[in-house]
Amino acid sequence: MARLDRYILAQLLWVFGFFSLVLVSVYWVNRAVRLFDQLISNGQPMSVFLEFTALSLPMLIRTVLPISAFVAATYVTLSLLRSSEITVLQAAGISPFRLARPVVAFGLIVTAFLIVLMHFLIPEARAELSRRQMEVAQNLTASLLQDGVFQHPANGVTFFITEITAEGTMRGIYLSDARSQLQRIDYTARTALIVPEASGPKLVMIDGQAQIFDRRTGRLSVTGFGDFTYDLSTMTGPAGRGRSVQELGSSELLAATPALLEETRASVAQFRFELVSRFVDGFAAVAAALIGFSSLIAGGFSRLGFWREVVVAVVLMALVQTLTNALAGPAMRSTALAWLGIVPLGLAVAVSLGLIAWATRKRRVRT
């Protein structure tokens, strides 16, 4: 690699590392605050909180790396333009396409990290996180089985059991749900059972009544029921489900067996789209870096500043992400359209090359 390539690449990697650290920290703190409030309020120890946040890091890093690649390419190119280094290099006969070589190399380095994340670390982290969430949900459900004690499994929820028989049947149930600002509902039942389901545990109350107090009007209504099902997953989280498509390894996505389709409750199109996305999302770093570089290099040197070029780069990134989201729906509904995930990446690279070609043809320097 030429000295020029090493010089630009070193700056790109340094800025990329700095912004990646900052963005991951911001995302992690935002996620950790919500997770801390949820777990600690449910009586979980600090070790569970630390484990959950560690397992969520690969997904956060995957989100941040393409953004950091774009920011690094934009920042370094802007710095080289402001210091007139690019102007001097072009005057020496070095073309914009030649200047793009270290940017592409930088994008491929980030892509290598993303490929490892997408194909190995993230599926494993998602699977382990789901397993631990199910264990926590089961522990929380089991903790409700205490008779003679008023329990508060969630803010605004009070649960009381008079007696638990040897067969596991609960007698004398009282459940108060005051989480809504519009109404408060108090359930009483003669007997009840906790039934595990794929969407989460359910409390089946038999022979009881529900007292609904409307906070706006101050009216109380009473409704009797023979049996009523109350969803406990809002407090304990889902449990007992199979793996999702995102938790499968890439080799399993290639072989969409009937057993896997039944376990994940997904279609073959979703399998194909997920597999394509793991490659496309990896190479998104190359496209992001090229967009940041080409948008600025196309504008050339200007004493009036480069804010227009920066705005163009940001708008192009937003359009690529919007197109990605728009094409995801059709691609997941039809196996024949799974290739649509490649379209935003291809368009981003094509637009970037077009901007670099425009910079090559440009001769006049703006003043």
CB within 8 Å of 13: residues ≥ 6 apart: 72, 106, 109
Give how many domains the chain has, as a whole number. 2
Sequence length of the chain is 367
Q: Are 158 and 280 in the same domain?
A: no
Amino acid identity, position 302? S
Last residue of some domain: 199, 231, 263? 231
Domain residue limits at 209: 146-231
Per mean pLDDT, which range of 117-126, 290-299, 336-345 is the poorest? 336-345
pLDDT tier for residue 237 given thresholds of 50, 70 and 90 = low
Top pLDDT among 37 and 18 is at: 18
Give the position of tokens 């690279």: 349
Q: Does residue 109 surpass a pLDDT of 70?
A: yes
CA angle, residues 303, 66, 108, in degrees to nearest 5: 95
Helix (H, G, I), strand (E, B) or coil at 173: strand
Q: Are 150 and 120 in the same domain?
A: no
Residue 207's alpha-carbon distances to 21, 137, 157, 167, in angstroms, are 57, 27, 21, 18
pLDDT in tens, 138-177: 666 666 677 888 888 777 888 899 988 877 788 999 999 9
Residue 203's alpha-carbon distances to 75, 159, 183, 188, 257, in angstroms, are 55, 11, 20, 12, 34
Helix (H, G, I), strand (E, B) or coil at 190: strand
DSSP 92-159: TT--HHHHHHHHHHHHHHHHHHHHHIIIIIHHHHHHHHHHHHHHHHHHHHHHT--TT--EEEETTEEE
Average pLDDT, the chain: 85
CB-CB neighbours of 259 under 10 Å = 9
| Helices and strands of the chain, counted as H and E runs | 11, 6
Q: Does residue 254 surpass a pLDDT of 80?
A: yes
- Using an 8 Å Cβ cutoff, are 285 and 265 in contact? no
Q: Are 21 and 129 in the same domain?
A: yes
Q: Are 114 and 28 in the same domain?
A: yes
Q: Are 12 and 79 in the same domain?
A: yes
Dig out the tokens for 213 from the structure: 């107090």
Q: Are 154 and 261 in the same domain?
A: no
pLDDT in tens, 300-347: 666 667 888 889 999 999 999 999 888 888 888 888 888 888 999 999
Q: Are 133 and 152 in the same domain?
A: no
pLDDT of residue 42: 59
Question: Is residue 128 domain-resident?
Answer: yes
Q: Are 110 and 21 in the same domain?
A: yes
pLDDT tier for residue 14 given thresholds of 50, 70 and 90 = very high
Q: Are 102 and 125 in the same domain?
A: yes
Q: Does residue 41 surpass a pLDDT of 70?
A: no
Nearest-angstrom CA–CA distance, 288 and 69? 6
Question: Is residue 79 domain-resident?
Answer: yes
- pTM for the model: 0.74
pLDDT tier for residue 365 given thresholds of 50, 70 and 90 = very low
Q: Are 153 and 13 in the same domain?
A: no
Question: Is residue 366 domain-resident?
Answer: no
Q: Are 124 and 13 in the same domain?
A: yes
Q: In this structure, what are the phi and psi dihedrals at residue 29, rounded to the nearest 5 degrees?
A: -65, -45
State the sign of the Cα–Cα–Cα–Cα dihedral 25, 309, 358, 325.
Answer: positive
pLDDT of residue 367: 46
Q: Does residue 102 surpass a pLDDT of 90?
A: yes
Q: Are 187 and 309 in the same domain?
A: no
Helix (H, G, I), strand (E, B) or coil at 345: helix
